Structure 1
């Protein structure tokens, strides 16, 4: 039937003398080499009427059929039937390498008008029986054959070979149109449709083959040139690229050539590029240019959390249209963002508003209550409010919810401690302190391997001057985290100092510095210097402060690449170090050096109250020293220092 169809549609049977007499003969010849011709001959497959009509339409458009086009049509039929082995055998007979220059020329000249009439074009289109000009329909047919060959290879498990075939389509189009699809090209052109399918298909093939770097390059090629992609298809490619950049684990640098051509600042790493893509997509969502996709917001939140831009994340959450999240989820996520950005007061205000609205409806949001209690634990001023949040959350749990009950008991114990210290009644203070320890002990018993609860228990014991129990809890916390908690080391050093066991505290500080990371050693080094000063080892203390300040000075070179929160913590540590050093020089009556240290601290933050408090002590020490000086010469020597301090 196929042979009759080929001859009928061509109108000239002499044109097929050099070709196989029927398309079936191509498949039979190819499969006979593999010894599988008998199997294919025994399998009778009849194409659908729609498939036959599609092939007849292609034949009428071409009017004459060469060997490659016949294979392309037969390969399409076999692929539509599901005979992927047969389709692959047929399509592998097309020599795309020799046809590629002619296909490129045909695509490049497709938008130029052709003046010669049809008769003269037919005469000049053949040289020695071979066509030198290729129609766009033939080009589309061959490109479709390459795409079907790639799909057949993919179905048969040869994903890498399929990707190479699919890349051939893109290379042909790029060589013909190096600056994108030219103006004037029909949007419903079959060639454009095939090319768009290849642009989407290629990166997926590379992803499935495990070549993530090739997949990222393919996505970028699809998005960096004007290929006339519709908004939804372009958005899908942008989303897939952003997801690949976030989760593939392979760092592929952005091509500098593209940024230089357009005078753009290229993203520094995968996360920055993913954030830019997701921000573009969320803006399209807000403008309703693309369909709503809840995954975009989730990916953006994850990317921004990795980069530490929590305030940006919060601003984009506020820009989302109503209905994207429920009201409780929206407020809860916003509070998380502001809390991560260090804006605990703003986060607590959001939680308050959300809890009040939900209480009116009788639908408490447990995560919001727990977050509110946790935020109140950070600030002793909000201890009473934290107790209310925790008690409301406790009412929603059953007795079998041991994990959540331990969390609530932890928050209650942490809040009861500062709340007891603000009580005016001794009886209430004693009762609240006992409740704080009892709740923390219950939480530690329920969650046996939670170092945070043990740290809170050690802190509360230390605040109640139960130092032996505090040392025991802090040591157990450090054993649980294998010495990886800097805050636990600092707490243990402070507890030992409170016991006046300064020598052991200094030894623990030395051991903690060996265990801690370089960035975490600075706080411990300051504690060590303070302990040395308390022991009267002023020379060692000054040397420790010198090492600390020189390390901070070296870190100033990289302050620009750190977050604002890290910069503030380093600046506060530097001020405290200068003030501690000024106090040491004041005790040594080295007034000039003490003034220099105070000036350094004030230059960092003029309105820092501790600076002026230390300066007041410094002036008081100087006045007492002058008053007790027996000679007028000593008074004259101290007078310039007194004047300069004022």
Structure 2
């Protein structure tokens, strides 16, 4: 339309914006009254507003009648087409709504956005409107309106919904893409709500079309915009949808790293943000699942600790927290909360099983036996899987309790009971490799090599060869039969299939032990050098352990300087590393520096009271003095209490008994030493971890 002067146009803009402000706030009657004053400029405006009011009030028939009349009076009125299309769609007539919605011009949408919206209550004096004596015939379609932009934007989103409802999702995607590309300036205007709906709908449509990677791109892009673009609720929804897609995986961009983070890490970060803003049960469950599947158990424990009281009962809260600590390897923390949970519940088998596992992990095997026995009692007549878990934990705790028993008779009884209990666990869950593996370890510790070999073969088959420690046990069993070449072949096959990191390092360390036991010390040096490269990121204790093994290998080769250097490096990382001090003692003893060697062995024994080798060497040095026979006997008995299968300790005890004139006892000790030496493995069977302690909690 034409204006007589610039002031007339400016006044009209102010009047229309005031009308639109009333519409945005839902003051429909006041908006209609204000529009009546502008009827000279647009005779359809009052009808339009009345139709929109009826639409918002759910009076769809009335709205349709008014909007059709407005559109008939002004066929090119895009706002009337948009509102009529919305009305018909809400009435369930997507096919009838589509022609009106498709008549909307997306490219012209930006012209309806004013640079600065004028509020309803303005402190600026309203300019006077100069009325012409003859009303202008045309409507002010060129006048900017943020509300009009909101109406058109909402209608375009409805157009996409209609297309999707008519099984035309690809066309719906094109509409939304064009909308988002055309209206970058409406993100902070009245249209923002509809544009946010467009983002969510576009992501859903991409997923419907199987193009999850494109949905991920859309969500990432909108979240990367300046703060405040999305409302809090919509931002949460976008983050939840994006996290879900990242955790599901998929093709293309879904699996690509973003900003240096893996998809799982990105998803976890998003879910943590959502939970920080407002706790939600579904998000909590999704976050817990993500942290579980990615092995982020310490962070999982933090998440569980942050849950407000009242969401879960106290036993539930402590139980879940205990499982997280167990999986993270924090046995003491796990046992603390599981004890509290056990005090407030009765007959909760999964809880009792978890508490028994925590006891086994922390050296409280006697307490663990009580928890496990209670679990076994309550599984009478229940599922075999749950009973199998209870029996498994009981068997492991009995075996660990046997190690610390002071009486030979008690130790033997506990070992036998552990074997029988683990057999029952295997019978209860025959397809589970874990109890069978732990049974094989228990049998191996008692030097029952043939039965152990049979069970570990079945365990390997049950795990499809994926359990690293089963291969290590098989290799040690072969080495105990002096079949070193076969043991090396087993480990080589396991290494071919093993991934990098800790599992590969464990296999290589066992291979080095087998090579050393078979007399291939130089080969062992090369193998340990590979291990050293793998464990450097595993912390100082892991690296110090490998360095001390390198030192031992050099001792066997009489490379004293190299041995001493590796031992020094180990002690620099871990000043009280028992293995490093033991090797230092061997070097000093070879240099005939007996007193210094004694001090090194004693340091090792103090650093690790279970270090039987140091106790045996101390006893050997004391044996040079006949007056020290009682001390030697005490040290060797202490060593045998720690490791009843140590042939060197039995041999040393036989020498003491022989010197004392106890020839019959000495003969028995020498015989035991000879039998044990014939079946000594390349590394102690007790060095292998129990499966029940290394597997993630299942209960």
Which has the higher relative contact order, 1 or 2, with Cα contacts under 8 A spaced 6 or more apart?
Answer: 2
Change (3 A) 1:461 1:318: same
Q: Please state if 1:620 is matched with 2:592.
A: no
Number of the residue aligned with 2:243? 242
Number of the residue aligned with 2:113? 107
Over residues 566-586 of structure 1, what are the superposed CA-to-partner deviations in whole Å (9 max), with x where a residue is unaligned?
Answer: x13xx5454333323322332
The Cα of 1:615 is off from its aligned counterpart by: 0.6
Q: Say whether the 8 Å CA contact 1:125–1:131 is kept in structure 2.
A: no
Q: Please state if 1:457 is matched with 2:439.
A: yes
Q: Please state if 1:525 is matched with 2:518.
A: no
The Cα of 1:614 is off from its aligned counterpart by: 1.5
Change (3 A) 1:462 1:154: same
Pick from 297, 300, 303 the counterpart of residue 316 of structure 1.
303
Change (3 A) 1:229 1:123: farther
Pick from 60, 66, 89 the counterpart of residue 99 of structure 2.
89
Distance 2:485 2:154 in 1: 81
Distance 1:209 1:122 in 2: 59
The Cα of 1:230 is off from its aligned counterpart by: 4.1
Structure 2 length-normalised TM = 0.69
Local SS of the residue matching 2:183: helix
The Cα of 1:461 is off from its aligned counterpart by: 0.8
Number of the residue aligned with 1:390? 372
Change (3 A) 1:603 1:428: closer
Q: Please state if 1:546 is matched with 2:546.
A: no
Distance 1:453 1:611 in 2: 34
Distance 2:370 2:550 in 1: 43
Number of the residue aligned with 1:440? 422
Q: Say whether the 8 Å CA contact 1:582–1:595 is kept in structure 2.
A: yes
Distance 2:134 2:567 in 1: 96
Distance 1:244 1:410 in 2: 38
Summarize the alignment of residues 459-498 of structure 1 with structure 2, pairs less than 5 Å apart.
Answer: 459-498=441-480
Point out where structure 2 has 5 or more consecutive residues left out of the alignment.
1-35, 45-50, 52-56, 595-699
Q: Say whether the 8 Å CA contact 1:62–1:137 is kept in structure 2.
A: no
Alpha-carbon RMSD across the aligned residues, in angstroms, is 3.9
Q: Please state if 1:301 is matched with 2:288.
A: yes
The Cα of 1:120 is off from its aligned counterpart by: 8.3
The Cα of 1:64 is off from its aligned counterpart by: 5.4
The Cα of 1:200 is off from its aligned counterpart by: 3.3
Distance 1:213 1:532 in 2: 50
Q: Please state if 1:173 is matched with 2:153.
A: no
Pick from 164, 169, 173 the counterpart of residue 163 of structure 1.
173
Q: Say whether the 8 Å CA contact 2:508–2:531 is kept in structure 1.
A: no
Distance 1:299 1:465 in 2: 47
Distance 1:615 1:295 in 2: 57
The Cα of 1:460 is off from its aligned counterpart by: 0.9
The runs of 4+ residues in structure 1 deviating greater than 6 Å are 9-16, 57-63, 112-117, 119-127, 253-256
Q: Say whether the 8 Å CA contact 2:64–2:88 is kept in structure 1.
A: no
Number of the residue aligned with 1:373? 356
Q: Say whether the 8 Å CA contact 1:525–1:544 is kept in structure 2.
A: no
Distance 2:277 2:227 in 1: 18
Over residues 214-234 of structure 1, what are the superposed CA-to-partner deviations in whole Å (9 max), with x where a residue is unaligned?
Answer: 222332344333456443343
Over residues 316-349 of structure 1, what are the superposed CA-to-partner deviations in whole Å (9 max), with x where a residue is unaligned?
Answer: 3222211112212211111122122221111111
Q: Say whether the 8 Å CA contact 1:204–1:215 is kept in structure 2.
A: yes
Over residues 188-214 of structure 1, what are the superposed CA-to-partner deviations in whole Å (9 max), with x where a residue is unaligned?
Answer: x4x344334323333222222222222
The Cα of 1:611 is off from its aligned counterpart by: 0.9
Q: Please state if 1:204 is matched with 2:204.
A: yes
Q: Say whether the 8 Å CA contact 1:251–1:270 is kept in structure 2.
A: no
The Cα of 1:294 is off from its aligned counterpart by: 0.4
Over residues 565-619 of structure 1, what are the superposed CA-to-partner deviations in whole Å (9 max), with x where a residue is unaligned?
Answer: xx13xx5454333323322332333322222222222223222122112211221
Distance 1:368 1:324 in 2: 19
The Cα of 1:462 is off from its aligned counterpart by: 1.0
Distance 2:276 2:407 in 1: 57
The more displaced of 614-623 and 419-428 is: 419-428
Number of the residue aligned with 2:219? 219
Local SS of the residue matching 1:96: coil
Change (3 A) 1:506 1:110: closer
Distance 1:230 1:121 in 2: 44
Structure 1 length-normalised TM = 0.74
Change (3 A) 1:327 1:529: same
The Cα of 1:106 is off from its aligned counterpart by: 2.4
For these two proteins, the number of residue pairs brought into alignment is: 541
The Cα of 1:277 is off from its aligned counterpart by: 2.2
Q: Say whether the 8 Å CA contact 2:60–2:91 is kept in structure 1.
A: no
The Cα of 1:15 is off from its aligned counterpart by: 9.2
Distance 1:600 1:67 in 2: 84
Number of the residue aligned with 1:278? 271
Distance 1:588 1:13 in 2: 105
Change (3 A) 1:226 1:622: closer
Distance 2:542 2:151 in 1: 71
Q: Say whether the 8 Å CA contact 2:268–2:287 is kept in structure 1.
A: yes
Q: Say whether the 8 Å CA contact 2:71–2:77 is kept in structure 1.
A: no
Distance 1:140 1:577 in 2: 68
Q: Please state if 1:142 is matched with 2:152.
A: yes
